[in-house]
Chain A
Protein backbone atom coordinates (compact mmCIF):
# COMPACT_ATOMS: atom_id res chain seq x y z
CA UNK A 1 0.00 0.00 0.00
CA UNK A 2 2.81 2.37 -0.77
CA UNK A 3 1.64 5.84 -1.69
CA UNK A 4 4.03 6.35 -4.60
CA UNK A 5 1.83 4.18 -6.84
CA UNK A 6 -1.16 6.42 -6.36
CA UNK A 7 -1.68 9.05 -9.07
CA UNK A 8 -1.30 12.64 -7.93
CA UNK A 9 -4.92 13.66 -8.49
CA UNK A 10 -6.14 10.79 -6.29
CA UNK A 11 -3.79 11.90 -3.53
CA UNK A 12 -5.04 15.47 -3.74
CA UNK A 13 -8.65 14.33 -3.68
CA UNK A 14 -8.19 12.15 -0.59
CA UNK A 15 -5.90 14.41 1.42
CA UNK A 16 -8.76 15.90 3.45
CA UNK A 17 -10.10 12.38 4.04
CA UNK A 18 -7.29 10.94 6.11
CA UNK A 19 -6.82 13.38 9.00
CA UNK A 20 -7.34 12.58 12.69
CA UNK A 21 -10.33 14.93 12.72
CA UNK A 22 -11.95 13.12 9.79
CA UNK A 23 -11.61 9.89 11.80
CA UNK A 24 -13.37 11.56 14.73
CA UNK A 25 -16.11 12.74 12.38
CA UNK A 26 -16.56 9.30 10.78
CA UNK A 27 -17.05 7.84 14.24
CA UNK A 28 -19.97 10.15 15.06
CA UNK A 29 -22.78 8.12 13.40
CA UNK A 30 -21.96 5.18 15.70
CA UNK A 31 -21.61 7.22 18.89
CA UNK A 32 -25.24 7.22 20.01
CA UNK A 33 -25.65 3.51 19.29
CA UNK A 34 -22.59 2.63 21.34
CA UNK A 35 -23.56 5.17 23.98
CA UNK A 36 -26.73 3.15 24.56
CA UNK A 37 -24.85 -0.17 24.60
CA UNK A 38 -22.17 1.23 26.92
CA UNK A 39 -24.91 2.59 29.14
CA UNK A 40 -26.60 -0.82 29.20
CA UNK A 41 -23.25 -2.48 29.96
CA UNK A 42 -22.67 -0.04 32.83
CA UNK A 43 -26.10 -0.79 34.30
CA UNK A 44 -25.61 -4.56 33.97
CA UNK A 45 -22.13 -4.33 35.56
CA UNK A 46 -23.44 -2.22 38.41
CA UNK A 47 -26.34 -4.57 39.13
CA UNK A 48 -23.85 -7.47 39.03
CA UNK A 49 -22.23 -5.89 42.12
CA UNK A 50 -19.22 -4.09 40.60
CA UNK A 51 -18.13 -0.74 42.04
CA UNK A 52 -17.88 2.42 39.92
CA UNK A 53 -14.06 2.21 40.06
CA UNK A 54 -14.14 -1.41 38.89
CA UNK A 55 -16.48 -0.50 36.04
CA UNK A 56 -14.21 2.39 35.01
CA UNK A 57 -11.21 0.03 35.00
CA UNK A 58 -13.13 -2.64 33.10
CA UNK A 59 -14.18 -0.24 30.33
CA UNK A 60 -10.70 1.33 30.04
CA UNK A 61 -8.51 -1.79 30.28
CA UNK A 62 -10.70 -4.54 28.78
CA UNK A 63 -12.71 -2.28 26.43
CA UNK A 64 -14.85 -4.94 24.77
CA UNK A 65 -18.66 -4.83 24.79
CA UNK A 66 -19.71 -8.46 24.66
CA UNK A 67 -16.88 -9.49 27.00
CA UNK A 68 -17.98 -6.92 29.58
CA UNK A 69 -21.59 -8.14 29.48
CA UNK A 70 -20.35 -11.70 29.92
CA UNK A 71 -17.88 -10.80 32.69
CA UNK A 72 -20.68 -9.05 34.60
CA UNK A 73 -22.96 -12.06 34.24
CA UNK A 74 -20.30 -14.55 35.35
CA UNK A 75 -19.14 -12.39 38.28
CA UNK A 76 -22.75 -12.09 39.45
CA UNK A 77 -23.13 -15.87 39.14
CA UNK A 78 -19.94 -16.40 41.17
CA UNK A 79 -17.81 -17.79 38.33
CA UNK A 80 -14.12 -18.46 39.00
CA UNK A 81 -11.47 -16.02 37.69
CA UNK A 82 -9.99 -18.65 35.36
CA UNK A 83 -13.39 -19.61 33.91
CA UNK A 84 -14.20 -15.94 33.24
CA UNK A 85 -10.82 -15.23 31.62
CA UNK A 86 -10.95 -18.32 29.41
CA UNK A 87 -14.51 -17.53 28.27
CA UNK A 88 -13.50 -13.96 27.40
CA UNK A 89 -10.46 -15.25 25.53
CA UNK A 90 -12.73 -17.29 23.26
CA UNK A 91 -15.31 -14.49 22.87
CA UNK A 92 -12.59 -12.03 21.86
CA UNK A 93 -10.59 -14.41 19.70
CA UNK A 94 -12.56 -13.04 16.73
CA UNK A 95 -10.39 -9.90 16.96
CA UNK A 96 -7.62 -12.00 15.34
CA UNK A 97 -9.71 -12.02 12.20
CA UNK A 98 -10.59 -8.32 12.37
CA UNK A 99 -6.96 -7.38 13.04
CA UNK A 100 -5.75 -9.57 10.18
CA UNK A 101 -8.37 -8.10 7.83
CA UNK A 102 -7.11 -4.57 8.55
CA UNK A 103 -3.42 -5.48 8.29
CA UNK A 104 -3.10 -4.98 4.50
CA UNK A 105 -3.88 -1.28 4.94
CA UNK A 106 -1.15 -0.67 7.52
CA UNK A 107 1.60 -2.84 6.08
CA UNK A 108 3.93 0.16 5.70
CA UNK A 109 3.96 0.84 9.47
CA UNK A 110 6.45 -0.61 12.00
CA UNK A 111 5.08 -3.20 14.49
CA UNK A 112 4.80 -0.81 17.43
CA UNK A 113 2.57 1.59 15.52
CA UNK A 114 0.47 -1.34 14.33
CA UNK A 115 0.13 -2.36 17.97
CA UNK A 116 -1.27 1.08 18.83
CA UNK A 117 -3.86 0.73 16.06
CA UNK A 118 -4.82 -2.78 17.13
CA UNK A 119 -5.05 -2.09 20.85
CA UNK A 120 -8.28 -0.08 20.42
CA UNK A 121 -9.79 -2.27 17.71
CA UNK A 122 -13.48 -3.15 18.20
CA UNK A 123 -16.31 -4.58 16.10
CA UNK A 124 -17.57 -1.04 15.71
CA UNK A 125 -14.34 0.70 14.67
CA UNK A 126 -13.54 -2.26 12.43
CA UNK A 127 -16.98 -1.94 10.80
CA UNK A 128 -16.49 1.77 10.16
CA UNK A 129 -12.91 1.28 8.91
CA UNK A 130 -13.70 -1.57 6.54
CA UNK A 131 -16.67 0.34 5.09
CA UNK A 132 -14.30 3.26 4.54
CA UNK A 133 -11.77 1.05 2.71
CA UNK A 134 -14.60 -0.12 0.43
CA UNK A 135 -15.37 3.53 -0.33
CA UNK A 136 -11.89 4.95 -0.92
CA UNK A 137 -9.49 1.97 -1.07
CA UNK A 138 -7.12 3.18 1.67
CA UNK A 139 -7.17 4.56 5.20
CA UNK A 140 -4.46 6.39 7.14
CA UNK A 141 -3.00 5.82 10.58
CA UNK A 142 -4.14 9.26 11.82
CA UNK A 143 -7.69 8.66 10.58
CA UNK A 144 -7.73 5.29 12.37
CA UNK A 145 -6.55 6.85 15.65
CA UNK A 146 -9.22 9.55 15.39
CA UNK A 147 -11.86 6.86 14.95
CA UNK A 148 -10.47 4.57 17.69
CA UNK A 149 -9.91 7.20 20.37
CA UNK A 150 -13.35 8.79 19.85
CA UNK A 151 -15.04 5.39 20.20
CA UNK A 152 -12.89 4.61 23.27
CA UNK A 153 -13.76 7.82 25.16
CA UNK A 154 -17.42 7.49 24.20
CA UNK A 155 -17.47 3.95 25.57
CA UNK A 156 -15.85 5.02 28.85
CA UNK A 157 -18.34 7.85 29.40
CA UNK A 158 -21.27 5.56 28.52
CA UNK A 159 -20.13 2.88 30.98
CA UNK A 160 -19.75 5.40 33.79
CA UNK A 161 -23.18 6.91 33.08
CA UNK A 162 -24.72 3.43 33.14
CA UNK A 163 -22.89 2.57 36.35
CA UNK A 164 -24.15 5.76 37.97
CA UNK A 165 -27.80 5.26 36.97
CA UNK A 166 -27.52 1.53 37.62
CA UNK A 167 -27.92 2.27 41.33
CA UNK A 168 -31.63 2.76 40.73
CA UNK A 169 -32.23 -0.02 38.22
CA UNK A 170 -32.65 -3.38 39.91
CA UNK A 171 -33.45 -5.50 36.86
CA UNK A 172 -31.94 -4.23 33.56
CA UNK A 173 -33.50 -7.12 31.57
CA UNK A 174 -36.95 -5.72 32.34
CA UNK A 175 -36.06 -2.70 30.20
CA UNK A 176 -34.58 -4.78 27.39
CA UNK A 177 -31.09 -3.35 28.00
CA UNK A 178 -29.43 -6.74 27.41
CA UNK A 179 -30.72 -6.58 23.82
CA UNK A 180 -28.60 -3.48 23.06
CA UNK A 181 -25.68 -5.66 21.98
CA UNK A 182 -27.46 -8.03 19.54
CA UNK A 183 -29.37 -5.06 18.09
CA UNK A 184 -26.05 -3.31 17.45
CA UNK A 185 -24.67 -6.38 15.68
CA UNK A 186 -27.83 -6.49 13.54
CA UNK A 187 -27.32 -2.84 12.58
CA UNK A 188 -23.62 -3.35 11.78
CA UNK A 189 -24.35 -6.47 9.69
CA UNK A 190 -27.09 -4.76 7.67
CA UNK A 191 -25.01 -1.62 7.11
CA UNK A 192 -21.97 -3.53 5.90
CA UNK A 193 -24.09 -5.74 3.61
CA UNK A 194 -25.67 -2.62 2.09
CA UNK A 195 -22.29 -0.94 1.52
CA UNK A 196 -20.72 -4.12 0.07
CA UNK A 197 -23.70 -4.57 -2.28
CA UNK A 198 -23.16 -8.33 -2.81
CA UNK A 199 -26.37 -9.55 -1.22
CA UNK A 200 -26.56 -13.14 -2.43
CA UNK A 201 -22.94 -14.01 -1.64
CA UNK A 202 -22.91 -12.19 1.71
CA UNK A 203 -26.38 -13.55 2.54
CA UNK A 204 -25.18 -17.13 2.08
CA UNK A 205 -22.12 -16.44 4.28
CA UNK A 206 -24.27 -14.80 6.98
CA UNK A 207 -26.88 -17.55 6.99
CA UNK A 208 -24.20 -20.27 7.14
CA UNK A 209 -22.54 -18.45 10.04
CA UNK A 210 -25.82 -18.35 12.00
CA UNK A 211 -26.64 -22.03 11.40
CA UNK A 212 -23.06 -23.14 12.13
CA UNK A 213 -22.86 -21.09 15.34
CA UNK A 214 -26.02 -22.68 16.68
CA UNK A 215 -25.07 -26.20 15.58
CA UNK A 216 -21.47 -26.05 16.85
CA UNK A 217 -22.49 -24.41 20.13
CA UNK A 218 -25.10 -27.09 20.80
CA UNK A 219 -22.69 -29.94 20.08
CA UNK A 220 -19.34 -28.64 21.35
CA UNK A 221 -20.30 -25.83 23.76
CA UNK A 222 -20.83 -22.15 23.13
CA UNK A 223 -17.20 -21.12 23.67
CA UNK A 224 -16.25 -22.60 20.32
CA UNK A 225 -19.39 -21.69 18.37
CA UNK A 226 -18.71 -18.16 17.17
CA UNK A 227 -15.06 -18.62 16.24
CA UNK A 228 -15.49 -21.96 14.44
CA UNK A 229 -18.60 -20.73 12.60
CA UNK A 230 -16.73 -17.60 11.47
CA UNK A 231 -13.81 -19.65 10.11
CA UNK A 232 -16.06 -22.05 8.19
CA UNK A 233 -18.52 -19.40 6.90
CA UNK A 234 -15.67 -17.19 5.58
CA UNK A 235 -14.28 -20.26 3.80
CA UNK A 236 -17.70 -20.92 2.26
CA UNK A 237 -17.70 -17.33 0.98
CA UNK A 238 -14.26 -17.76 -0.55
CA UNK A 239 -15.23 -21.02 -2.27
CA UNK A 240 -18.48 -19.48 -3.60
CA UNK A 241 -16.46 -16.66 -5.15
CA UNK A 242 -14.10 -19.07 -6.86
CA UNK A 243 -16.93 -21.01 -8.51
CA UNK A 244 -18.49 -17.94 -10.09
Chain B
Protein backbone atom coordinates (compact mmCIF):
# COMPACT_ATOMS: atom_id res chain seq x y z
CA UNK B 1 0.00 0.00 0.00
CA UNK B 2 2.79 2.41 -0.76
CA UNK B 3 2.79 5.55 -2.87
CA UNK B 4 6.20 6.40 -4.36
CA UNK B 5 7.24 10.05 -4.41
CA UNK B 6 7.92 10.21 -8.15
CA UNK B 7 4.54 8.60 -8.91
CA UNK B 8 2.79 11.01 -6.52
CA UNK B 9 4.43 13.91 -8.35
CA UNK B 10 3.20 12.58 -11.71
CA UNK B 11 -0.35 12.08 -10.37
CA UNK B 12 -0.58 15.56 -8.80
CA UNK B 13 0.95 17.28 -11.84
CA UNK B 14 -1.32 15.42 -14.25
CA UNK B 15 -4.34 16.17 -12.04
CA UNK B 16 -3.56 19.91 -11.98
CA UNK B 17 -3.16 20.24 -15.76
CA UNK B 18 -6.43 18.30 -16.13
CA UNK B 19 -8.36 20.29 -13.52
CA UNK B 20 -7.70 23.75 -14.99
CA UNK B 21 -9.13 23.13 -18.50
CA UNK B 22 -12.09 21.36 -16.90
CA UNK B 23 -13.19 24.23 -14.67
CA UNK B 24 -11.89 27.44 -16.25
CA UNK B 25 -14.38 27.84 -19.14
CA UNK B 26 -17.34 27.08 -16.86
CA UNK B 27 -16.06 29.64 -14.33
CA UNK B 28 -15.18 32.39 -16.82
CA UNK B 29 -17.91 31.98 -19.42
CA UNK B 30 -20.55 32.28 -16.70
CA UNK B 31 -19.33 35.89 -16.39
CA UNK B 32 -19.09 36.70 -20.09
CA UNK B 33 -21.84 36.10 -22.63
CA UNK B 34 -20.73 34.10 -25.67
CA UNK B 35 -21.53 35.54 -29.12
CA UNK B 36 -24.12 33.60 -31.13
CA UNK B 37 -21.51 32.11 -33.51
CA UNK B 38 -19.54 30.90 -30.49
CA UNK B 39 -22.54 28.95 -29.25
CA UNK B 40 -23.07 27.42 -32.68
CA UNK B 41 -19.38 26.53 -32.93
CA UNK B 42 -19.46 24.81 -29.52
CA UNK B 43 -22.46 22.80 -30.70
CA UNK B 44 -20.13 20.91 -33.08
CA UNK B 45 -17.41 20.22 -30.52
CA UNK B 46 -18.83 16.99 -29.02
CA UNK B 47 -18.99 15.20 -32.39
CA UNK B 48 -15.60 16.56 -33.45
CA UNK B 49 -13.77 15.56 -30.25
CA UNK B 50 -15.24 12.03 -30.11
CA UNK B 51 -14.43 11.39 -33.77
CA UNK B 52 -10.90 12.79 -33.32
CA UNK B 53 -10.27 10.47 -30.36
CA UNK B 54 -11.58 7.49 -32.35
CA UNK B 55 -9.34 8.43 -35.29
CA UNK B 56 -6.31 8.59 -33.03
CA UNK B 57 -7.05 5.25 -31.36
CA UNK B 58 -7.80 3.37 -34.57
CA UNK B 59 -5.48 4.70 -37.27
CA UNK B 60 -2.38 5.55 -35.24
CA UNK B 61 -0.06 3.38 -33.22
CA UNK B 62 2.55 5.18 -31.06
CA UNK B 63 1.99 8.30 -33.15
CA UNK B 64 2.64 6.49 -36.45
CA UNK B 65 0.29 5.26 -39.18
CA UNK B 66 -1.05 1.80 -38.38
CA UNK B 67 -0.96 -0.22 -41.67
CA UNK B 68 -4.29 -1.64 -42.87
CA UNK B 69 -2.85 -5.15 -43.18
CA UNK B 70 -2.24 -5.43 -39.43
CA UNK B 71 -4.82 -2.99 -38.10
CA UNK B 72 -6.86 -5.09 -35.68
CA UNK B 73 -8.41 -1.97 -34.08
CA UNK B 74 -9.88 -0.92 -37.43
CA UNK B 75 -11.38 -4.39 -37.98
CA UNK B 76 -12.85 -4.36 -34.47
CA UNK B 77 -14.26 -0.85 -34.94
CA UNK B 78 -16.63 -2.06 -37.68
CA UNK B 79 -18.70 -4.49 -35.52
CA UNK B 80 -18.53 -1.95 -32.65
CA UNK B 81 -20.15 0.70 -34.89
CA UNK B 82 -22.79 -1.77 -36.10
CA UNK B 83 -23.71 -2.82 -32.56
CA UNK B 84 -23.86 0.82 -31.41
CA UNK B 85 -26.21 1.72 -34.28
CA UNK B 86 -28.39 -1.42 -33.90
CA UNK B 87 -28.64 -1.65 -30.09
CA UNK B 88 -27.83 1.91 -28.93
CA UNK B 89 -26.13 0.25 -25.96
CA UNK B 90 -22.79 1.52 -24.66
CA UNK B 91 -22.13 -1.70 -22.78
CA UNK B 92 -22.94 -3.85 -25.81
CA UNK B 93 -20.59 -1.76 -27.96
CA UNK B 94 -17.71 -2.02 -25.49
CA UNK B 95 -18.13 -5.79 -25.00
CA UNK B 96 -18.35 -6.54 -28.73
CA UNK B 97 -15.27 -4.36 -29.33
CA UNK B 98 -13.21 -6.07 -26.62
CA UNK B 99 -14.25 -9.59 -27.65
CA UNK B 100 -13.51 -8.87 -31.34
CA UNK B 101 -10.02 -7.56 -30.53
CA UNK B 102 -9.38 -10.55 -28.27
CA UNK B 103 -10.49 -13.02 -30.96
CA UNK B 104 -8.50 -11.30 -33.73
CA UNK B 105 -5.32 -11.23 -31.61
CA UNK B 106 -5.85 -14.87 -30.67
CA UNK B 107 -6.09 -15.99 -34.30
CA UNK B 108 -3.76 -13.60 -36.11
CA UNK B 109 -0.92 -12.74 -33.77
Contacts and interface: CB of A to CB of B under 8 A. Distances in A.
A217 B101 CA distance: 24
A190 B81 contact: yes
B26 A36 contact: no
A130 B6 CA distance: 38
A103 B44 contact: no
Contact of A222 (B49, B63, B94): B63
Contacts of A213: 51-52, 55-56, 59-60
Interface residues of A, number: 106
B93 to A, nearest CB: 4
A96 B21 CA distance: 5
Contacts of B43: 101, 237
Question: Which of A67, A85, A127, A238 lies at the interface centre, i.e. has the most chain B CB atoms within 10 A of its CB?
Answer: A85
A205 B97 CA distance: 24
Contact of B55 (A180, A229, A234): A229
25 contacts: A71-B14, A81-B6, A85-B10, A85-B13, A85-B14, A88-B18, A94-B53, A101-B45, A104-B34, A111-B30, A115-B23, A123-B49, A123-B50, A126-B46, A181-B57, A183-B80, A189-B47, A205-B47, A206-B47, A209-B51, A210-B52, A212-B55, A218-B64, A234-B42, A234-B45
Contacts of B42: 97, 100-101, 234
B62 to A, nearest CB: 8
A192 B95 CA distance: 19
A107 interface: yes
Interface residues on chain B, size class: 35 or more
Interface in B54-109: 54-60, 63-65, 73, 76-77, 80-81, 84-85, 88-91, 93-103, 105-106
Interface in A31-63: 32-33, 36-37, 40, 50-54, 57-58, 61-63
A177 B98 contact: yes
